[in-house]
Structure 1
Amino acid sequence: MTPVETDLIIAGGGLAGASLALAVSRLVPELRVTVVENHPLAPDAAPDDYQPSYDARSTALAWGSRLIFEQLGLWPALSEHATPIRHIHVSDRGRFGATRLHAEDHRQDALGYVADNRWMGLCLVAALRETPVRWLAPAEVRGLVPAPTGVAVTVRREGRDQVVTGRCLVVADGGRSGLRETLGFRTRTEDYGQNALIANVSTSEPHRFTAYERFDESGPMALLPHGSPTRAGHQSALVWTLDDRNLAEVLALPDDDKCRRLQERFGWRLGRFTRIGACSHYPLKLVTVDEPVRPGVALIGNAAHALHPVAGQGFNLALRGLMTLVEQFRRAVDQGRDIGELSVLAAYQRQHRQDWLKTVYFSDSLIRLFGPAPAPLAGARDAGLVGLDLLPPAKRWFVRQAMGLGGRRPFFGNAGRTGREVYHDDR
């Protein structure tokens, strides 16, 4: 196959990789972008053809992520099927502690949104088809060697190897693809000893655009409003934390018994659980990479870090991180520097690491605080929830973390035309 020359190579065309490709095309249009994706692009897949599926997997989008997608011109399309979260209810099962957050108290339309992954993917691909971004799909990155202009990547495509040369490779294909390990990046893993069971459920009472975070001795459970963006329906997206034994028991139950077990854990705030859809599950681990950049290579998204889903911050953290990377690309191009220089990628890592540390601490501390605990500590945390509900400064801080506004985020003005950045510092 004929070698391909480009500037930026993105390994992975999922939500993170496609968002990065769109951000670069919008904000650093001088760069040629090539996406290498394992799965073929369906030629007939378009947002106009989208029909929501009951069993569709979804992602929680923080308010800060909405602001980023607005900057990229994607939010008008995404919002057509994004269910707003206008209220958040946090409670400790069997105890008095609880706190309630309301978007209207903070002069916002919503605290966040819930969108189907497939819908987000369709909107991203539709937007990318209007850009010069090149897609190699189905294809797979097999290896990398240094090259005079940056990196030379071996891509397996149609049963043959093809060389793609560029100035930088960004690994955005998730934490389980193996490319990260193939390239020699070392990870650190902390196993929570739990699993996340994911499913969509229906309840007899409408969700009223409320997200519930429920803690007990077994771990957290989240129910996120799902379905119509304008009508408070009866469907919610479930994230249920279970240890290995309880996971096996629940998966073996018929659906009616799954609903009864779920009712025991969650309670009756949404009435009776009437339906549970197809269940998927995965082990919960905190995965980090000590040095996620090197000359010509950077990791983003789950390839760089995987979080517990308790606070719904995984994709939102990834989105803020890739925008920080795009900010450094913009600066490098303006200054006549190579986007693959270690100093450029290290600047991205330094900025993103502060956000990462805050987000990991926020998510991890919730797991440890609301895990199994002796009675005095359990009583203290319940008092803390009540205090959070009563103390405006503490509540504002908590809301900003939940909305993805707790760290410094880059915002671009007319970067695609002027090369100038506009910053909004939310610290």
Structure 2
Amino acid sequence: MTRNQLDTDLIIAGGGLAGATLALALARVVPELRVTVVESVPLAPDALPDEYQPSYDARSTALAWGSRLILEELGLWQAVSEHATPIQHIHVSDRGHFGATRLHAQDHGQQALGYVVDNRWMGLCLMRALLDTRVQWQAPAQVTGMVPTEEGVRVDIRKGGEPLTLTGQCLVVADGGRSGLREKLGFQARTEEYGQNALIANVSTAESHRYVAYERFTDTGPMALLPHGSPREPGNQSALVWTLSDTALHDILSLSDEQKCRKLQERFGSRLGRFTRIGDCYHYPLKLTTVNEPVRPGVALVGNAAHALHPVAGQGFNLALRGLMTLVEQMRRGVDRGVSIGDLSVLGEYQRLHRKDWQQTVQFSDSLIRLFGQPLAPVALARDAGLIGLDVLPGAKRWFARKAMGTGGRKPVLSITGKAREARSE
């Protein structure tokens, strides 16, 4: 069977942020590839709203400055930026201790250290951009299995209760770590439970956030407050990530909104004045999940299917985005060499290049949790000294800023802008 006899070239399981971004990047950089996305949520292009009305309870994602640069390369940032709240300052502190460090975008010659964007808005921007590409969709549908073939893979799909089969060169699993497809395909995930939960909600405060993101470590776990709302003027709304034990989570959820605000005030303090409102609360258990060998001939795991991090450093989607660009780069190189994009020489190089980034990011996030989770006095003093050192030592502060901004990792060799320009001119 030749390439032209295959149903498609690449099948992406999952059309969420990771899967849709990968599809768009391939359409920009490797436009000759036929891409099919299999998504469980039904899609109706004519249902995309002409105008976006932000919701108070919208879930959001923290985008590092490095992720903005990637979205610019893909021609997506201009649209996304319409509802992207900048993070111009970061304040890190340890509750009950004197140590603290501060980062300021202007000190690094940038407009912002990062941005907070509603997931739904980013998804709408991706869908609008994808409507102008040749990417095909199977939705609502889901991948139920895969069999390697001499030409690549045969992927089993269930759509509307009916079985369907697609043949292609490669399958990319981008449906997160909870669907079960990863395990069904035989990948072994290593999971470490933190014994904590993340409570996610939007909150309002008496004082403006002034585009400051707060990372507050407490004796019961870290909490983050990220500026949220209008990108044009600093407001009073922030996105909350609150780490809680099972018992504490149960107790918080049983409270009224007014009582939740009081409890939050006790843990966070008064840097933003009084907490005046808390929106719908969502929660999920925290765990560190990694797959040591996320590729094999004809199949690759990306995003949360390959690695899921503690949200303390806000690096999950940013790490995934860098990995997606590395995969796109290697697929571009494979096509240029006349090699199947599912060949292990292509996918193995993607794994090799991305591995160092995810190992360093996992270590950075995990070490923060373990370091600030130690109640011993000598450890607390060392933490305070470390935070002060980050605040006053230029070299240490630059290193920390690069981590926060997502600019300290490997830079792709491939010029995505050049390829995107070629693709748009065809």
CA displacement, residues 349-388 of structure 1 (integer Å, 9 cap, x when unaligned):
0000000011011111111111132111101110110111
Letter of the 1:223 counterpart: L
Name the CA distance, whole Å, in 2 between partners of 1:175 and 1:401. 24
- Show the 5 A alignment for 1:11-410: 11-46=13-48, 48-410=50-412
Contact 1:47 1:126 in 2 (8 A): no
Among candidates 397, 413, 419, match of residue 415 of structure 1: 419
Q: How far 1:46 moved relative to its partner?
A: 2.8
Contact 2:45 2:131 in 1 (8 A): no
Moved more, 356-365 or 105-114: 356-365
Contact 2:28 2:420 in 1 (8 A): yes
Letter of the 2:370 counterpart: R
Q: How far 1:4 moved relative to its partner?
A: 7.3
RMSD of aligned C-alpha atoms? 1.2
Q: How far 1:146 moved relative to its partner?
A: 1.6
Contact 1:45 1:122 in 2 (8 A): no
Name the CA distance, whole Å, in 2 between partners of 1:44 and 1:316. 30
Name the CA distance, whole Å, in 1 between partners of 2:280 and 2:71. 30
Q: How far 1:281 moved relative to its partner?
A: 0.3
Moved more, 381-390 or 14-23: 381-390
Name the CA distance, whole Å, in 1 between partners of 2:46 and 2:374. 50
CA displacement, residues 26-80 of structure 1 (integer Å, 9 cap, x when unaligned):
0011100000000001344435331000000000000000000000000000000
**TM-score (normalised: structure 2):** 0.96
Paired residue total: 417
Contact 1:203 1:235 in 2 (8 A): yes
Contact 2:86 2:211 in 1 (8 A): yes
Which residue of 2 is the match for residue 423 of structure 1? none
Name the CA distance, whole Å, in 1 between partners of 2:145 and 2:379. 50
Task: Rate the CA distance shift 1:104–1:47 in 2: closer, same or farther, 3 A.
Answer: farther
Name the CA distance, whole Å, in 1 between partners of 2:267 and 2:39. 40
Name the CA distance, whole Å, in 1 between partners of 2:172 and 2:66. 23
CA displacement, residues 383-407 of structure 1 (integer Å, 9 cap, x when unaligned):
1101110001000000000000111
Name the CA distance, whole Å, in 2 between partners of 1:168 and 1:336. 15
Moved more, 407-416 or 280-289: 407-416
Contact 1:151 1:166 in 2 (8 A): yes
Moved more, 5-14 or 47-56: 47-56
Q: How far 1:418 moved relative to its partner?
A: 6.4
Contact 2:74 2:416 in 1 (8 A): no
Name the CA distance, whole Å, in 2 between partners of 1:305 and 1:73. 27
CA displacement, residues 147-181 of structure 1 (integer Å, 9 cap, x when unaligned):
23200101111211111110000000001011101
Letter of the 1:61 counterpart: L
Secondary structure of the corresponding residue to residue 373 of structure 1: coil
Name the CA distance, whole Å, in 2 between partners of 1:45 and 1:56. 19
Letter of the 2:418 counterpart: N
Where structure 2 has 5 or more consecutive residues not aligned to the other structure, the ranges are none
Which residue of 2 is the match for residue 425 of structure 1? none
Where structure 1 has 5 or more consecutive residues not aligned to the other structure, the ranges are 420-427
Name the CA distance, whole Å, in 1 between partners of 2:32 and 2:420. 9
Letter of the 1:319 counterpart: L
Name the CA distance, whole Å, in 2 between partners of 1:45 and 1:215. 42
Name the CA distance, whole Å, in 1 between partners of 2:7 and 2:15. 19
CA displacement, residues 75-101 of structure 1 (integer Å, 9 cap, x when unaligned):
000000000000000000011000010
**TM-score (normalised: structure 1):** 0.96
Secondary structure of the corresponding residue to residue 359 of structure 1: helix
Moved more, 375-384 or 347-356: 375-384
Secondary structure of the corresponding residue to residue 50 of structure 2: helix
Moved more, 199-208 or 406-415: 406-415
Letter of the 2:206 counterpart: S
Contact 1:200 1:277 in 2 (8 A): yes
Name the CA distance, whole Å, in 2 between partners of 1:345 and 1:208. 44
Name the CA distance, whole Å, in 2 between partners of 1:253 and 1:194. 19
Q: How far 1:343 moved relative to its partner?
A: 1.4
Contact 1:7 1:168 in 2 (8 A): yes
Name the CA distance, whole Å, in 2 between partners of 1:337 and 1:357. 28
Name the CA distance, whole Å, in 1 between partners of 2:8 and 2:422. 23
Secondary structure of the corresponding residue to residue 129 of structure 2: helix
Name the CA distance, whole Å, in 1 between partners of 2:389 and 2:50. 47
CA displacement, residues 277-300 of structure 1 (integer Å, 9 cap, x when unaligned):
000000000001121000000000
Secondary structure of the corresponding residue to residue 175 of structure 2: coil
